Chain A
Amino acid sequence: MIRAFDAPLLRPLCLIVAAAPLLLAGCRDEAETEGDAARHRSPTGAVARSEQAAGDPEKGYDALVNEPYVSCGIPWSAYSRLNPDPGLSVPGRTGRNAELPYASTAHVNADGVEIVSGNCLICHANRIGDEVIVGLGNEFADFTRDPRRLALQAANYVRGAPETAAWQHWADRVEGIGPYVQTRTVGVNPAPNLTWALMAHLDPETLAWSQEPLIAPPPEDPIPISVPPWWGMRKKNAMFYTTIGRGDHARFMLLASMLCIESPEEAEAIAGYAEDIRAYITSLDAPDYPYPVDETLAARGAEIFQRDCAACHGTYGEDETYPNLVIPYEEVGTDPTYAVEQTDGSRDRFYDWVARSPYGDDQSAAPAPGYIAPPLDGVWATAPYLHNGSVPNMAALLSSSLRPTFWRHRTDPRRYDPEVMGWAHEVLDTGQEEETDPDARRLIYDTTLRGYANTGHSYSDDLDDASVQALIEYLKTL
């Protein structure tokens, strides 16, 4: 009897390469004064708008999909042996990039070694059917594995001094972040913890890497995040759930390059096109709902939305509005872990780091103790819902009794379910603790885990079924 196994060398080695730290969070150091704490906090309520520099969206898209803002990775000669499949692409890829999956970017380093790195689209693109939607958060990425093992596997085909030096640069960084970026379940994202871990190893002024942490790293277990869609940035005054990412968005976005950064000069070179990338991101429109919509039902849903939802999520259509409101976590009732940890002082050393670095100032990383009520453009495409992706579809979000305690995505193939507005999933009887097979365990979304709860946002629980149906129908039109 022959046993067959798959060979994990082909796992997307690039997945972790860039895991772009586009999400941030923060808190305060125990030793700090009240004044310091105030410096790193924002109130709940409306977020003020800040001026953003103009940029060229077309140039921004070209930079997004072709420029090596993540400047370390796997030498091409090793990458191509392990990942021969070009995978899905996106338009506008030039040179070697045209042969690579959309989430990988190639460049030649100063030693003449061609390197393949992850790019922003690892987390900020996903496919619906066969189409890659740039800007849609990737809710299927696997961050459950130790990236240090992937770095070692990649090295099996690294040869010669220049390639080895290039690989070591990347492997050193992966070694630094490895313990802090392993989520409990496939689909959720560890970007905030990744960002803190990198800051722990980088001098904020020289951007020199230290293999030993310079400040205390974050706790190892990352709080899970669902990646918000980029097209919301057209309306949002702060980039992230707790309103970290105020002020100059383009500059703060440079944190995406932090995995490999070696000098302020390198950061400035990337800053040269960051404003264009920001302009591209804010030019994005949400994708249209691709299935039929019952217009009569949607019109009824619009009335319910205006009455019950618009005050926080804004209005849509010709005279759209968006209030940029942060709701206190006690009030919205969703899993508080993320907002609490960002505002209880335990992350303030990282906010200080940002303020001292080329990436921002005092207002860049100043979270509020709550969660932003996001704009709902294209909300149909952004399941699973809530900031931690704990609710698999809109029907369950709007009727909290339907939310499964334990569930997993149905994949291979994944299937979108228009009825409930979300990806098809399977409800399970037991959670991760009862599952002994690690590969089965990592697929289970277990809402009893810390940071993974599916509570709160139960405002629509009193609606009757017909009203919920009407509301879902309206949301399809946004």
Chain B
Amino acid sequence: MTRRIPRFTPFRAAMFAIPAAIACLALAVFLQPGPSQGAQEDDMFGAADLQDLLAAFEDEPFARPSGPWSVSLPRDYGAHEAMRGDTWMMALHLEDEAGTRIGMTFGLVRLGLRAQAPGSQASPWALRTLYRGHLSLAEDGAAALEAEERFSRGAGAAGADSPSRKLWLDDWQIDYGGASAQEGLTLSASANGLPVRLHLSPAKAPVAMAGDDGAPVRGFVIPRLNVQGTIGKAEAERRVHGVAWLDRLWGDLPLPGGPLSNQRLILHLDDGTDLTLLRTQRSDGRGLATVEGLAVFPDGEALPLPPDGPGAIDMTATASWTTQDGSATYPVAWQLTGPGLDLTVAPMIENQDPGFALPGWIGAVTVSGRHDGVQVAGMGTLQMTDGSAP
């Protein structure tokens, strides 16, 4: 992966689709009435029913991103509540003082169900918005990951408050209250009672989508933030440090479901390069698979990776993992090749099915290989929407 292309080619909005899709997929169950006692399996409320339910809200007149925009922080850390939805997704690659590697993902989604007319005085208890959050922690050498998923209908229990620069879901909280963009974000959350308190400060500038092109979604990534903090309760608290990637997206987010499978990689290499790749294919396995991506070099220069041509990256699955019940098989190891790039990606733990409401694999990976002739290593995150084999 060398900087052979002198100018920017389009940065795919689709790149953001997967965190949004994963988050929204899980949100769907919040609307699920659940099977009645003794119901036959055939009668159970399935994913298609969930999609139909959400589809009932599909035509709500939410605002669409429009007009000139360029990213402004800390403002754009905050929610855009006139829009259909917001997502915040962090992939964190950490190490404790003993050198043990810890991969972590944190996600928060706000999904509007009913658009609020200006000046309307609807009951605060009316179902207008759903929140979904997740946290997963994978530690090198552990047998499985710690993962927790939460849902809320807002109404005070979850929300976004721009004046105080806070986002919360129960006692999980993102605080972006610093006066400047460089002051970053503070995350307080927990996974199954294991507390996490981290501060993230941007080490590279945001890379943003264009603001005036009429796309249904708008947003930015911060490819590298420095992370300091603690994991664990008082007596077992460990100091951790590392780096993180932030996806931030708002607008008319795709609802759950659809005919595509995605695999998304986020890699932090120890030469200072950050890389994300999105592989997309039909869920039925037919047809072309596309891989597009974004590389951000140590100096912050961003290079969109085209889906074909001389700068394209080839992404080949090399090993898979099947769930215990055999219901899904995930390609958990990958070989990446491209101009100046030859990387091997392996799962830190094979079983990183977090057991969230809808199927998926969200886990920590290690990466090693060569970049521009130099040996590199690093950590990463792999997210997969469903268990279709590539």
- Interface of A with B (CB < 8 Å)? 1-10, 77, 81-82, 84-85, 146, 148-149, 151-153, 155-161, 164, 167-168, 171-172, 175, 178, 211, 436-440
**How far is the CB of B94 from the nearest CB of chain A, in Å?**
27
- Within 8 Å CB of B14, what residues of A? 9, 153, 156
Asked if B208 and A2 sit within 8 Å, CB to CB, the answer is yes
- B207's partner among A3, A7, A156, A172 (CB-CB below 8 A) is A3
- B290's partner among A4, A5, A152, A160 (CB-CB below 8 A) is A152
- Interface of B with A (CB < 8 Å)? 4-14, 17, 48, 51-52, 55, 58, 64, 70-71, 205-211, 213-217, 220, 252, 254-260, 280-282, 284, 286-288, 290, 300, 302, 304, 306-311
Asked if A155 and B306 sit within 8 Å, CB to CB, the answer is no
Can you list 8 A-B contacts with CB-CB less than 8 angstroms, sorted by A residue number?
Answer: A6-B213, A7-B215, A149-B290, A156-B17, A158-B258, A159-B51, A159-B256, A439-B7
Give the complex CA separation of A8 and B307 in angstroms: 12
Asked if A152 and B252 sit within 8 Å, CB to CB, the answer is no
- Looking at B70, B208, B216, which has the most chain A CB atoms within 10 Å of its CB? B216
- A156's partner among B48, B70, B258, B311 (CB-CB below 8 A) is B258
**How far is the CB of A117 from the nearest CB of chain B, in Å?**
18
Give the complex CA separation of A171 and B285 in angstroms: 13
Asked if A9 and B13 sit within 8 Å, CB to CB, the answer is yes
Chain B residue with Cβ nearest A80: B216
Chain B residue with Cβ nearest A161: B48
Q: Which 5 A-B pairs have the closest CB atoms?
A: A5-B11, A7-B215, A7-B13, A8-B10, A148-B288
Give the complex CA separation of A175 and B11 in angstroms: 24
- Within 8 Å CB of A85, what residues of B? 214
Given the known interface contacts A81-B216, A149-B288, A172-B286, the answer about A4 and B260 at a Cβ–Cβ threshold of 8 Å is no
- Within 8 Å CB of A149, what residues of B? 288, 290, 307
Asked if A7 and B209 sit within 8 Å, CB to CB, the answer is yes
- Looking at A3, A161, A436, A439, which has the most chain B CB atoms within 10 Å of its CB? A3
Given A2-B207, A9-B12, 10 more pairs with CB closer than 8 A: A5-B208, A7-B209, A81-B216, A152-B280, A152-B287, A152-B290, A155-B282, A160-B48, A172-B286, A438-B311
Chain A residue with Cβ nearest B204: A1
Asked if B5 and A436 sit within 8 Å, CB to CB, the answer is yes
- Looking at A2, A146, A151, which has the most chain B CB atoms within 10 Å of its CB? A2
Given the known interface contacts A7-B213, A159-B51, A438-B310, the answer about A178 and B258 at a Cβ–Cβ threshold of 8 Å is no
- Within 8 Å CB of B311, what residues of A? 438
Asked if B205 and A159 sit within 8 Å, CB to CB, the answer is no
Asked if B11 and A7 sit within 8 Å, CB to CB, the answer is yes
Asked if A438 and B11 sit within 8 Å, CB to CB, the answer is no
Chain B residue with Cβ nearest A4: B210
Asked if B7 and A437 sit within 8 Å, CB to CB, the answer is yes
Asked if A159 and B258 sit within 8 Å, CB to CB, the answer is yes
Give the complex CA separation of A82 and B280 in angstroms: 18
- Within 8 Å CB of A4, what residues of B? 70, 208-211
Chain A residue with Cβ nearest B306: A438
**How far is the CB of B201 from the nearest CB of chain A, in Å?**
17
Asked if B260 and A156 sit within 8 Å, CB to CB, the answer is yes
- Within 8 Å CB of B5, what residues of A? 436-438
Give the complex CA separation of A5 and B215 in angstroms: 11
Given the known interface contacts A3-B208, A438-B309, the answer about A9 and B215 at a Cβ–Cβ threshold of 8 Å is yes
Asked if B70 and A2 sit within 8 Å, CB to CB, the answer is yes
Given the known interface contacts A2-B70, A77-B58, A438-B310, the answer about A8 and B13 at a Cβ–Cβ threshold of 8 Å is yes
- Within 8 Å CB of A437, what residues of B? 5-7, 9
Asked if A167 and B302 sit within 8 Å, CB to CB, the answer is no
- Within 8 Å CB of B281, what residues of A? 152
**How far is the CB of A171 from the nearest CB of chain B, in Å?**
7
**How far is the CB of A213 from the nearest CB of chain B, in Å?**
15
- B286's partner among A5, A158, A211 (CB-CB below 8 A) is A211
Chain B residue with Cβ nearest A85: B214
**How far is the CB of B319 from the nearest CB of chain A, in Å?**
25
Give the complex CA separation of A164 and B259 in angstroms: 6
Give the complex CA separation of A161 and B48 in angstroms: 8
- A7's partner among B12, B302, B306 (CB-CB below 8 A) is B12
Give the complex CA separation of A96 and B281 in angstroms: 31
Asked if A2 and B6 sit within 8 Å, CB to CB, the answer is no
**How far is the CB of B352 from the nearest CB of chain A, in Å?**
25
- Within 8 Å CB of A2, what residues of B? 70-71, 205-208, 220
Give the complex CA separation of A159 and B252 in angstroms: 14
Chain B residue with Cβ nearest A436: B4
Asked if B13 and A171 sit within 8 Å, CB to CB, the answer is no
Give the complex CA separation of A415 and B288 in angstroms: 38
- Within 8 Å CB of B213, what residues of A? 6-7, 10
Asked if B287 and A6 sit within 8 Å, CB to CB, the answer is no
**How far is the CB of B5 from the nearest CB of chain A, in Å?**
5
Given the known interface contacts A5-B304, A175-B286, the answer about A168 and B207 at a Cβ–Cβ threshold of 8 Å is no
Give the complex CA separation of A161 and B51 in angstroms: 10
Give the complex CA separation of A178 and B289 in angstroms: 13
Asked if B282 and A1 sit within 8 Å, CB to CB, the answer is no
Give the complex CA separation of A7 and B252 in angstroms: 14
- Within 8 Å CB of B280, what residues of A? 152
Give the complex CA separation of A77 and B58 in angstroms: 9
**How far is the CB of B58 from the nearest CB of chain A, in Å?**
7
Asked if A152 and B260 sit within 8 Å, CB to CB, the answer is yes
Chain A residue with Cβ nearest B251: A81
Give the complex CA separation of A82 and B122 in angstroms: 31
Asked if A7 and B210 sit within 8 Å, CB to CB, the answer is yes
**How far is the CB of A82 from the nearest CB of chain B, in Å?**
7
Given the known interface contacts A2-B205, A82-B216, the answer about A171 and B12 at a Cβ–Cβ threshold of 8 Å is no
- Within 8 Å CB of A171, what residues of B? 259, 282, 287
Asked if A10 and B215 sit within 8 Å, CB to CB, the answer is yes
Give the complex CA separation of A400 and B17 in angstroms: 51
Give the complex CA separation of A156 and B48 in angstroms: 16
Give the complex CA separation of A278 and B296 in angstroms: 55
- B287's partner among A148, A158, A161, A439 (CB-CB below 8 A) is A148
Give the complex CA separation of A151 and B307 in angstroms: 14
Give the complex CA separation of A178 and B288 in angstroms: 9
Asked if B70 and A160 sit within 8 Å, CB to CB, the answer is no
- Within 8 Å CB of B310, what residues of A? 436, 438
Chain B residue with Cβ nearest A176: B287
Give the complex CA separation of A109 and B70 in angstroms: 41
Asked if A167 and B214 sit within 8 Å, CB to CB, the answer is no
Asked if B259 and A158 sit within 8 Å, CB to CB, the answer is yes
**How far is the CB of B303 from the nearest CB of chain A, in Å?**
10
Given the known interface contacts A2-B205, A81-B216, A153-B14, the answer about A160 and B52 at a Cβ–Cβ threshold of 8 Å is yes
Asked if B210 and A146 sit within 8 Å, CB to CB, the answer is no
